[in-house]
Amino acid sequence: MPVEPKPLPDLVEQVEPAVVRIDVKTTKGTGVGSGFVVRQTGIVVTNHHVIAGAVEATVTFSDGKKSRVHGTMGMDARKDIAVLRIDKGPPEGYPIIPIPVYLPRKGEPVVAFGTPKGLSFSASEGIVSAVRKGDELEGFAQKLPGTWIQTTAAISPGNSGGPLVNRQGELVAINTMTLGGIAVAIGDLV
């Protein structure tokens, strides 16, 4: 049975506990990005560029709790995806964002979560403007493999790695970048 769309405030309350701010230290300085929990045991997904070059990283949850990043379980620089391992967490496990087995439809309402310009735990609403193959974006960036979700939901630096979810609270894509003012998120999650 399909899950009913949630009113936006209810959706934010459902999704936000699984969203994390990622503070990164590198040999060149510090950075901030976003991520989200996909396994209750402490598995976080973000963008590769958020964590690349990190010598230390910490995630912060919306309730203020922090967890150290212990390492990566997988990285794909071409698709800009990284899977991180954090502290085990509470006995009941971390809240998660479910991953559906389908791509979104053009026109579907979505919400982007993250830390735009360091403003933690922000949400912005929009729609799926298009579902594109990476070669369609070649004029904006280097050749990008995979499927990319173009959205009207605001994505700014710091939103990178945060979830783009549908109104049922399911993951649609990973907020990745803005190309000439067009927000795109990677839709290939594996």
Map the chain to HEC letters.
CCCCCCCHHHHHHHHHHHEEEEEEEECCEEEEEEEEEEECCCEEEECHHHHCCEEEEEEEECCCCEEEEEEEEEEECCCCEEEEEECCCCCCCCCCCCCCCCCCCCCCEEEEEECHHHCCCEEEEEEEEEEEEHHHHCCCCCCCCCEEEEECCCCCCCCCCCEEEECCCCEEEEEEEEECCEEEEECCCC
Q: Which of 34, 62, 67, 160 is catalytic?
A: 160
Examine the residue annotation and report whether 49 is marked as an active-site residue of this protein: yes
Examine the residue annotation and report whether 160 is marked as an active-site residue of this protein: yes
Q: Which of 23, 80, 122, 124 is catalytic?
A: 80
Examine the residue annotation and report whether 80 is marked as an active-site residue of this protein: yes
Which are the catalytic amino acids? 49, 80, 160
